[in-house]
A and B are shown apart, each in its own frame.
Chain A
Amino acid sequence: MSKMRYSRRNILKGGAAAVAASAFPAPMIWAQEIKDVVLRQAGTGVSAFNEVAAKVKEDLGFTLEMTALDSDAVTQRAATQPDSYDIADIEYWICKKVWPTGNLQAMDISKIANYDKIAGTFRDGKLTPDSVIAQGTAPHTVGFVEGPGSTTFATQDSGWMTLIPTIYNADTLGIRPDLIGRPIDSWAELLNPEFKGKASILDISSIGIMDMAMVCEAMGEIKYADKGNMTTEEIDKTIGIFMEAKKNGQFRAFWKSFDESVNLMASGEVVIQSMWSPAITAVRAQGVPCVYQPLKEGYRSWGGGIGLSAGLSGLPLDAAYEYINWYLSGWVGGFLMRQGYYSAVPETSKLFMSEDEWGFWYEGKAATGDIVSPGGTVIEKAGAVRDGGSFLDRMGKVACWNSVMDENQYMVRKWNEFIAA
């Protein structure tokens, strides 16, 4: 359970407070007790920054404790230990797995001030009115439920959200242009024998299988009906192709955590691999050339959001809504955009970024001055252009979303065999 328990007796303590509390209950409690609230947030490392917790304390007054775990560990915790967190900062495919356990509560969108400004991707799935919805667990398909207590996803905006979207990005392969020395334009290059012993893929089954599918499709080996929901034959064939490549020594290593991917790339052990955007920045910050290569088949995308533990109620629940509204109001958005992610409400983030930063990160324009990371290091000089270009260029070319499939258990067993083979 939440550490904070507010009994009526406690809150009504003292005659004057009791009178005031009965006259204006919420604001009074708010002002007095908010500083004691502690919200425990468990999530994937992508958005767990100490700067965010410090800013919460400063702007909202309460304490946010963050725990960063890998995707599997977060899923496990969200599904089995609902009392160990108040806020789950998870990806949409994790939500698809965890929601049926009933450990998260639906959120009332009427309490979300900036709801109307949230990117279309998270509401009806369409970035622009003529966008085609990509394969996989697209956020809007698991973004709504019928109402409080419901464990089935709604097909459209129902007024009750599962996760409030916060962060998303389009992922592709990272390469070392200096060690490859020729243009790379297809996912198929990951299994090109030219890179034997110099390739890597991430060892997180739900994400890795999508990278594999992008590769197999690009090679022309498999044509999927839906990459995000493969049949057992498709899974067998996909993993089979990669097992063969593994036996032939294609892979130098597999990575599971962010820092491993940075080390593999920066040390030159690997020249082409699955990678996440901030890892590219981290490699470049070491002075090593590294490109987040746009590929003709498109991006594999993911989205994350904030969910509330079912056990959250009373004042901590109010504080959590306050936190969500603050999250969408722009400061965090600007902070995340400067790391190369996208904010779910770009409009408000713009207010917290300089024109040059907005132009570089969001509009794909050439930087006019130095681009500085939130940590203060210069990551791009004037004239640099973001790999892949603008927000619409990148998010408009999403080929699939990170997913959980109907045959997930089968896929996981096959994945384990791939790793053990």
Chain B
Amino acid sequence: MRRANLNSWLLAAPLTGVLFVFLILPILLIVAVSFWSADEFSFRPDFQFGNYEYLFGSAVAWKVFGLTFMMSVIVWALTLAIGFTIAFFLAFHVRTQKWQMVLFLLTTIPFWTSNIIRMISWIPLLGKNGLVNQTLIGAGLINEPLQWLLYSSFSVCLAFVHLYTLFMVVPIFNTMMRIDKSLIEAARDGGASGFQILTNVIIPLSKPGIMIGSIFVIALVMSDFVTTRFMSGSQLANVGRLISNDIGLLQYPSAAATAVVLLITVLLIIGAMLRLVDIRKEL
């Protein structure tokens, strides 16, 4: 008994060590630095709440946190709807495994380009003189080019959905593939309609996949800064940009405080989501 106990501790030790050094320790450091004080080009160890006071007292910070959260929710809803549909199509409508894999790989296309290239390539499509505006003007639907297509919340949202839908598709597709087909046959034999099968069989059994995908998307959107910067033409801010601005200006303690608040916010959201579905039990 004692020996087995020791063995399992030893087996877990390397991973614990790695996680402690590369995850726990850096986070503790960030928390510690968030209480430091700083002036223009130096910062020193201290224990004061000035960084948090400024953060919570700033109307702009509240607004930015709100916008970031709202963007996460919108992107989450869209990627879920699109991702679920794609996964459903791949898992239940595509018959052969070969085609399932081919189509699945196609969904990774957004990852073939870098953010910079995407940023440049949106201009010819969505810009004032871009393809979309020219087509609409040519078709006589509008007289003036639509400004909101590019450098707006719309374009930021579009880029996010374009990028992160894959993170929904993968886990949902994975759980759907594990659904025993005989369950669906049984439901059909029992007289369930297609819609009833979807809501009573497939969605409940896909929940772990949906939840994992949701965690990915929300964590990614909440922590993003580069997509927002490029796609809004720097006109919109999110929490990531607040942090990167602070870092750029050597305000590490202030950046650390913002990072800590962001971390807590994301953990709370994920904690709440995990209450809804026990991933470990259902996997």
Contact = CB atoms under 8 A, between A and B. Distances in A.
Interface residues of A, number: 36
Interface string B114-130: 00000010011001110
A256 B232 CA distance: 12
A29 B197 CA distance: 83
Contacts, number: 81
A251 B247 contact: no
B249 A412 contact: yes
Chain B contact residues (Cβ within 8 angstroms of A): what range?
A: 20 to 34
A267 interface: yes
Nearest to A268: B129
A124 to B, nearest CB: 28
A45 to B, nearest CB: 15
A189 interface: no
A253 interface: yes
Interface stretch (A51-59, A96-104, A159-167): A96-104
Given A75-B250, A197-B147, A269 B128 contact: yes
A22 interface: no
Interface string A250-264: 011111100000011
A317 to B, nearest CB: 24
B231 to A, nearest CB: 10
Contacts of A80: 250
A246 B128 contact: no
Given A76-B250, A252-B151, A420-B63, A408 B40 contact: yes
B87 interface: no
Nearest to A70: B248
A76 B246 CA distance: 11
A98 B41 contact: yes
A267 B129 CA distance: 7
Name B's interface SS.
Answer: loop
A419 B234 contact: yes
A72 B234 contact: no
A255 B234 contact: yes
B60 interface: yes
30 contacts: A70-B248, A72-B248, A79-B41, A79-B250, A100-B41, A197-B147, A205-B249, A246-B235, A249-B147, A251-B233, A252-B151, A252-B233, A254-B233, A254-B234, A254-B235, A264-B233, A267-B123, A267-B124, A267-B127, A267-B129, A268-B127, A269-B128, A269-B151, A409-B40, A412-B245, A419-B237, A420-B60, A420-B63, A420-B237, A421-B60
Interface of B: 39-42, 58, 60, 63-64, 120, 123-124, 127-129, 147, 150-151, 229, 232-235, 237, 241-242, 245, 247-251
Interface of A: 70, 72-73, 75-76, 79-80, 97-98, 100-101, 197, 200, 203, 205, 246, 249, 251-256, 263-264, 267-269, 408-409, 412, 416-417, 419-421
Which 3 A-B pairs give the minimum distances between C-beta atoms? A253-B233, A420-B237, A72-B248
